[in-house]
Amino acid sequence: MATTDASGRRSGTVRPELKEALDAVGVVPARVDVRESRAVFERDGVVIVPGMPTDPDELVVAAARTLGGRLRALTGIRPQGGTDSPALGLHSDGANVVVDVNGRRVPLREPDEDHLYMLCSAPAPEGGDSVLIDGYALVDRLAEVAPELHAFLTRCDVDYFGGWRTPARGVPATPLVRRLVEWTRGGRRVVRASDYAAPVPREPRWDEHAAFLDEYADVLATAFDCAPRFRLEAGDLMALDNYRFLHGRDGFRGTRELHVLAVRSVDAW
């Protein structure tokens, strides 16, 4: 069963009895020439373009290339990676970070970033392989094998960051209430995963909702365990639909370097 650490972060447990049901939701993206990237991205929701320059500015170009006039807003490019890191479980990108600039509230990150771009400049010498789960396939499978959990994910609100016990500076204290699976006004389905999700404040069925969140964490841990791995090499640029795909990676030894850009399109909400 899932466990929660001192920071409020929930970690799932691999459930062997779920493996057969979840063994087909993992995805290995197509690798294509940059000239084909937009067509494949529109078809699959994810694509890897190999052999790109490792300059982080390429992320902005890739966002414009794959989204065209649908591109609405960019967040800052942020370095990722590190040295000798443990595994990073399945998650969807997006954070609620707001600062005050000369009396004006400015979001540095947004919870509804709907596309994600990653550029690898140096893979880890050992480990660090990527994992990608088709959230739509996952949720559809849960409708068959875990209907009560599916009903919770699609019908019940959660406090998306509510389990976080020591929020960082700039993180709003007001609960962000949403569903882990819901639809935008334009009809896009959004599948989310948050390690810090909690029942909404004063939820009368608190224990029941907390148990469903634990079960969902176990589902994600099992899907992560079953999924095929793929490796981002230096110069690999991956674009993905952040409303559809959940991603993670294996632990690694040595140093791994990449840059990440999250964006919002006109289709975000």
The full DSSP string for 158-179 is EETTTT-SSPPTT--SS--EE-
| pLDDT, position 94 | 87
Please say whether the beta carbons of 34 and 49 come within 8 A: yes
The SS3 call for residue 249 is strand
| pLDDT, position 79 | 94
Dihedral, 192, 197, 203, 206 alpha carbons, nearest 10? 110
| pLDDT, position 263 | 95
| pLDDT, position 167 | 86
Q: Which portions of the chain are predicted below pLDDT 70?
A: none
Report the sign of the C-alpha dihedral through residues 143, 148, 149, 150, in that order: positive
Please say whether the beta carbons of 173 and 167 come within 8 A: yes
The first and second tokens of residue 229, run together, are 């791995």
Domain at 144, CATH number: 3.60.130.10
* Residue type, position 160, single letter: Y
135: containing domain: 3-265
In total, how many domains does the chain have? 1
Q: In the chain, what is the greatest distance between 2 CA atoms, to the nearest angstrom?
A: 55
| pLDDT, position 53 | 97
Task: Dump pLDDT digits (tens) for 214-241.
Answer: 999 999 999 999 999 999 999 999 999 9
The SS3 call for residue 40 is helix
Chain centroid to CA 257 = 19
| pLDDT, position 10 | 95
Task: Dump pLDDT digits (tens) for 170-183.
Answer: 888 899 999 999 99
CA–CA separation, 162 and 171 (whole Å): 11
| pLDDT, position 96 | 87
Please say whether the beta carbons of 180 and 191 come within 8 A: yes
Q: Quick one: which of 118, 63, 98 has its CA closest to 248?
A: 118
CA–CA separation, 204 and 125 (whole Å): 50
